[in-house]
Structure 1
Amino acid sequence: MKRVLYSKFLMGDQLKDIGAIFLAAIMLCFWSIYNGYPLFFSSDTAMYLEAAFAKHVGPDRPILYGLFMYYISGQYSLWFVVIVQSLILSYSFYCWFRYFLPGENYLLFFLLYSAFVSIFMGASFNVSWLMPDVFTPLSVLSIGLIIFAPRLPRHVWVFLIGLSILGIAMHNSHLFVCLGLTLLLLAGYAFKSVREIYNLVGIKFSRIAIVIGLIITSAFFAASISYQYGGGFKSSRGGTVFLMGSLVEMGVVDIYLGENCSQKDYRICEYRDTIPNNFLWASNSPIYQTGGWAGSEAEYSAIVNDILTTPKYLKLVVWKSILRTISQFMHFDTGEATKATPRIDQGFRRFYPNEYDNYYKARQNQGELNFKLVNHTQVVIFLSCILLYALIYYKNGMSLKFRFLILFLLIALLINAWVCGTFSGVYFRYQARLLWLIPMPVFLFLATKIRIRSTEQPKQT
């Protein structure tokens, strides 16, 4: 009888947890529900769909997110993509609160945090967006759990391993962000004082090794998918061209070409005086005059290699990289959801004709979305968290483990700013995709303090 009652009690708890996960997922869909349809980005969403439906890798991005949309939507409704993204993120949030918090109040703070970042920050926007950006925080959250969570059930391990491999492979930048985070943690083992802190926090070398293994596996997975769909055995495509575009924006390419075009027969030299700052996407860019992304890659590789191996150019790149990292770190407005371009309009008409009317009538396509309030609140929240965390480190106001979680998330933001600002460009969406992880340690800390106070209250007789 006792065993039956205990089983019912456990089942009741499980149903409560499942209900909370679904409720958080609904909150994370706020912007798509308000919009009346999933959000899209410029022509990029169409480019992912075009590659997936054509079953061929494009020259400038991995095909994996396109395939994700293709199969999850069932080629019927892109709402399924948003729903799945919201459930994955909701469960990831749940795991952070479930396995980093002792006691029974993890559900309350899990729901409070989900509502907070959905309404006042950009979490719901990233979930509702048909872009791989939501997999950036998902990758960070998954490796954070693997490294820091003390005990994880088998089903959570399966989820985290699958999510890590899939999430890191979704976008070119994810591998470098996650690898940078992990290598920094690994480098700490070179210092005795840091090793002692690791022991106190509970960081194990075996967990870091697992994450490195997952990153390598993800790179091979991405390369295999690319190979299968005609893109060659490469984990990413267009990396050299993206870096070339970044060096153009830095002004380094202009200096380099001015000093070397008289000696080297580069095709781009013909366009040296008319290279647009928007090098990657401008219609008059030399890229599209000299063979496109694939046709220009060999020449740009030679130029990039020469710049990075010549000390005077390398110093300039390093300095510009520092400036762009700082700039990217502070650029995090959300809401890059403008009216449809002809390419995205054609894509929805062609691939999802049954949803075309819903897409066309959505608030985004009518220019009725406004993200000013969210962007104002994000600035206030970000600055408040930075000041709060500085005070916490100064006063030792949190446990060592919580301070390490804060440091982990801040370093993730910093590495993301460096990777994107240096190798692609300073764009709001790159930093906005991670910013809403910043307040999570606050909610974890408050949940812990409230539990401690409640257990310290004397029982009334």
Structure 2
Amino acid sequence: MCDGRGMAKAISLTRHLGGRIAALLLSALLLMWVALANGYPLLFSDSGTYLRIGTELYFPNDRPVTYGLMLLPFVRVGGVWLAVAAQCLAAAWLIGRLLTVVGIRGAWMLPAVVAMLCAGTSLPWFTGQLMPDVLTGLGGLIVLLIVCGWDGLARWERVALPLALAGCVAAHLSHLPIFAATAVAAGLPRWRRPVGAGAALVAVMFGLLVVCSFNLVGAGRFVPSLQSDAFLLAKLLDQRMAQAPLAEACAQGELPRLCSARKRFDRQDDPMPGQSWLWALDTPRVALAAADEQALAAEEKALVGRTLSARSGEIIPMAIASTARQLVTARTGDGIQYWGPEMQVQQQVAALGDSAAFAASRQQNGRLGGMGRGLHLPVALLSALLVLVLAWAAWRRRDPFAGGLILGTIVLVVANAAVCGILSGVFDRYQSRIIWVLPLIAMVLLVRQRRAAD
């Protein structure tokens, strides 16, 4: 009798585990649907740099190497599709873990929630894309899990999740302030038990240490960013705020390298001269940096300082306006376009032996089409309204768990808009990488509230 009961229990556990694994794999497959429909993983222009880090151990000066190193084992072993599969599995597991922490049981709830996210949000456009932007939303989920769900985490998760968060921080410079702000906000309703928030903040600082260490090894400088002044200068040039201070410096015989490009900055037919300075194929910055990179960096830093001093009264209004614009600028698919043979991304695809597959992809042939993109922003806006209603309900119930999830999510979305909009520029891809978190949190809290009422 005991043996029979033991056998039945073992069979039940096996079926339960099998069901969970099947649900996880199905969810990961759903998250791959955009990449599968495209015929190849989605590639942004910067994807070439990250692939090059993994394939050539290349060290760029304009971005952390961390995400490229993350791609390395997957691309080396199974190519780009294995890297996408790993991203999708990680996203599916984190969403499933969030459902469990919230109290939503049942293995097949995971693919149901993921299917809704795939149909109505930008998530599969990033899980199927080789860019660290996928880690913005996933890192945000990790912060919420650590801060709000600390008591429900297994011992190994209390180690693994902070380490994963540190990796997300180290993958993109914008993540450090975004995740730090999210951790603080999510921890406010649980201020009497700050262990989770403390663990998240320690992980964020460890991620910063990782970035600085990589820069020390690769460039001999223990700093978070090797070109932070260049990005901020580009923003100030795009806002037409740095042109007048540059003209004054040129009149005084200063900043000769930047003065040599002054006419380019003053062009009225270029709406974003700062972005052209950084990324245009014909930008003089490449030649100037090759001639004396440190001297150019010093001039960029000096012009940033001059501009911030001379236009200080315009900084706060500019910051508020940029944040507000970025909050609603979130068109999915921004930058997913045809890339020619002169682009590094195309060259890296060729180095991987995938030229034929990439050439046949919808992206390279302009056939991606709508693919549900028109729904993403309306769904996010409706979810934001629902989150505010749920926030009111959580406050009335004195529910610190729901309050932490909601407040953390709101700050995650707003901090992303502020950091990207102020320090870089207002681009659809920056906000579209994060807005899918709003529908997810709205769904899980709504289900949790309904089940608690039953």
TM-score, reference length from structure 2: 0.88
Are 2:314 and 1:316 equivalent residues in the alignment? yes
Cα distance, 1:154–1:421 mapped onto 2, change above 3 Å = same
Structure 1: gaps (5+ residues):
189-196, 457-461
Distance between the aligned counterparts of 2:213 and 2:421, measured in 1?
28
Using the TM superposition, give the Cα deviation of residue 452 of structure 1 relative to its aligned residue in structure 2, in angstroms: 3.7
Distance between the aligned counterparts of 2:365 and 2:348, measured in 1?
18
Cα distance, 1:3–1:155 mapped onto 2, change above 3 Å = farther
TM-score, reference length from structure 1: 0.87
Question: Equivalent residues in 2 for 1:271-290 (5 A)?
Answer: 271-275=261-265, 276-278=273-275, 279-290=277-288
Distance between the aligned counterparts of 2:307 and 2:446, measured in 1?
50
Q: Which residue does the alignment assign to 1:459? A: none
Are 2:69 and 1:67 equivalent residues in the alignment? yes
CA offset digits 1:224-244 (Å, max 9, x no partner): 233334464333332221111
Using the TM superposition, give the Cα deviation of residue 366 of structure 1 relative to its aligned residue in structure 2, in angstroms: 1.5
Find the residue that maps to 1:261 and give its secondary structure. helix
Q: Which residue does the alignment assign to 1:209? A: 198
Distance between the aligned counterparts of 1:130 and 1:427, measured in 2?
18
Cα distance, 1:67–1:110 mapped onto 2, change above 3 Å = same
Question: Equivalent residues in 2 for 1:69-148 (5 A)?
Answer: 69-74=71-76, 76-101=78-103, 104-105=105-106, 107-148=107-148
Distance between the aligned counterparts of 2:19 and 2:54, measured in 1?
38
CA offset digits 1:129-186 (Å, max 9, x no partner): 1111111111111111010003111232243123112111111111121123234567
CA offset digits 1:377-398 (Å, max 9, x no partner): 1122122122223334456688
Distance between the aligned counterparts of 1:230 and 1:54, measured in 2?
16
Distance between the aligned counterparts of 1:273 and 1:139, measured in 2?
41
Q: Which residue does the alignment assign to 1:198? A: 190
Q: Which residue does the alignment assign to 1:251? A: 240
Using the TM superposition, give the Cα deviation of residue 35 of structure 1 relative to its aligned residue in structure 2, in angstroms: 1.1
Q: Which residue does the alignment assign to 1:170? A: 171
Aligned CA RMSD, in angstroms, stands at 2.4
Q: Which residue does the alignment assign to 1:192? A: none
Q: Is the 8 A contact 2:143 2:165 kept in 1?
A: yes
Q: Which residue does the alignment assign to 1:430? A: 430
Q: Which residue does the alignment assign to 2:269? A: none
- Structure 1 residues 272-281 or 423-432, which shifts more? 272-281
Q: Is the 8 A contact 1:101 1:444 kept in 2?
A: no
Q: Is the 8 A contact 1:109 1:443 kept in 2?
A: no
Using the TM superposition, give the Cα deviation of residue 286 of structure 1 relative to its aligned residue in structure 2, in angstroms: 4.7
The alignment of Structure 1 onto Structure 2 pairs a total of residues equal to: 434
Distance between the aligned counterparts of 2:384 and 2:210, measured in 1?
37
Distance between the aligned counterparts of 1:156 and 1:435, measured in 2?
26
Structure 2: gaps (5+ residues):
266-272
Q: 2:254 aligns with which of 257, 261, 265?
A: 265
Question: Equivalent residues in 2 for 1:4-43 (5 A)?
Answer: 4-42=7-45
Using the TM superposition, give the Cα deviation of residue 284 of structure 1 relative to its aligned residue in structure 2, in angstroms: 4.6
- % identical aligned pairs: 24
- Structure 1 residues 256-265 or 295-304, which shifts more? 256-265
Q: Which residue does the alignment assign to 2:386? A: 388
